[in-house]
Amino acid sequence: ENVQLTKELILEKLKEVIDPEIGLDVVNLGLIYDLQIRPDNTVYVKMTMTTPGCPMTMWILRAVEDKILEIPGVKDAEIELTFDPPWTPDRISPEYKKKLGLY
């Protein structure tokens, strides 16, 4: 129960959420814009989708929330969806850009 909540721990857990259309996780895709651990152990995530019309939006948001809530010590999760700034492939992690041949 005394797990120290860190951004690194939460981001590692969020790597388990894979965008089913692209096959990459939400962290390496660059969909996570902000992550905060509040004093009451509520985790706030501001994130986006690859496109505003993404048919998987609700599924991905729910998966992100569920993964955060699986972490011992997390009291609640608040997920905010934004399209400002819009996502671009530039946000993909360098490691995954290489894997996708974007370099």
pLDDT higher than threshold 70 for residue 37: yes
In words, the CATH class of domain 7-92 is: alpha beta
Report which residue type is found at 75. Answer: K
pLDDT in tens, 69-78: 999 999 999 9
Structure tokens at 61: 């948001």
- SS3 label, residue 102: coil
Q: Quote the DSSP letter at residue 42.
A: E
Task: Give pTM, 2 decimals.
Answer: 0.92
**What are the strands of the beta sheet with 32-37, ordered from one edge?**
32-37, 42-47, 76-81
pLDDT higher than threshold 70 for residue 2: no
- SS3 label, residue 57: helix
Mean pLDDT of the chain: 93
